[in-house]
Amino acid sequence: MGFFSQTTKVVDLGGGNSVTLRSLTFGERQELQSRCMKIGASMNGKNSGAEAAFDVALMQRLTWQKAISAWEGPGFEGRPVTAENIDALPAWLLDQLTPEYNSLEGLSAEEKKG
């Protein structure tokens, strides 16, 4: 497989349901990280300084919106794959998909924890 080939994985959820995950490109990941990073500075005497904050929850949400490319089965009630419908999925389902996505990205869950 070439470097520009999209890596995908179909995850069988049982009951005739499946989700297709895809890895993000470098550009997609950079865009999401940029949207999740907030940098600020204050200059008010002795409390002057810079700070950076990263919104991990937003990063996870935006990643799932990019990574879920298709789904099939009665559990999805005929709804199309959209950002709004991905947000409406139960949290336990995305928790179940996390190790599958991590393996698609080439890192185990333990490796991603650092």
99 in any annotated domain = yes
Contact 32, 66 (CB under 8 A): yes
2 in any annotated domain = no
Please give the Cα distance from 12 to 78 (Å, whole number): 17
Provide, rounded to the nearest whole percent, the portion of the chain with pLDDT above 70: 89
104 in any annotated domain = yes
Number of domains the chain is built from: 1
29 in any annotated domain = yes
The per-residue pLDDT for range 12-30, each reduced to its tens digit, is: 999 999 999 999 999 999 9
* pLDDT confidence tier of residue 9, bands split at 50, 70 and 90: very high
38 in any annotated domain = yes
Q: Exposed, middle or buried, 95 (CB in 10 Å: 0-12/13-18/19+)?
A: exposed
53 in any annotated domain = yes
1 in any annotated domain = no
78 in any annotated domain = yes
Provide the residue range defining the domain that includes 64.
8-113
**pTM attached to this predicted model:** 0.80
The per-residue pLDDT for range 58-109, each reduced to its tens digit, is: 999 999 999 999 999 999 999 999 999 999 999 999 999 999 999 887 754 4
